Structure 1
Amino acid sequence: MNGDDSWGDAFDEDPDGDPDADLLPCPDCGAAIDADSEACPDCGYWITEADRAEAWRAGSATGRVLRVGWWIIGLAVAGALVAWWR
């Protein structure tokens, strides 16, 4: 894997122009692949259920809301700790 957290960026349309296609970026090379593919046609990386779950979490509105919520909670806790130490 390349460690890039680019899941869900601009993969809402397949290369043939079908906006209804479910595409995900390959976790290894970043190529747009069908969400039901077992392997990336470009690099051959085998797509696991964990990869699909991560793509959904990172690319879905629910995943984004959860990440923002955790950041807000973290900042609130950090602010409370700073206020407590003063």
Structure 2
Amino acid sequence: MNGTDQQEFIKIAVLENTIEAQLVNSILDEHNIPHRLHSYHDTAYDGLFQMQKGWGGWRAPRSFKDDILEILNAVRLDTNEFAG
């Protein structure tokens, strides 16, 4: 067991959509950054909470928070360049 296995996972960020979640997830996997993705979708309410709270959220050890936010911001900046 290494140090990250024993660290508490905290909420890092809220995701905007499925594409962002998949893209950031693959980048974090490539960098071997421990993380958990949590979707806010609930089939009983047909995704109602995703409209209010965002698509989902990231949880990760506190020690990786800055790295994850840096990656997420870079993805969002690149995405916005194509949208504008």
Q: TM-score range by the shorter chain?
A: under 0.3
Higher RCO (C-alpha under 8 Å, 6+ residues apart): 2
TM (normalized to structure 2)?
0.27
More strand by share: 2
TM (normalized to structure 1)?
0.27
More helix by share: 2
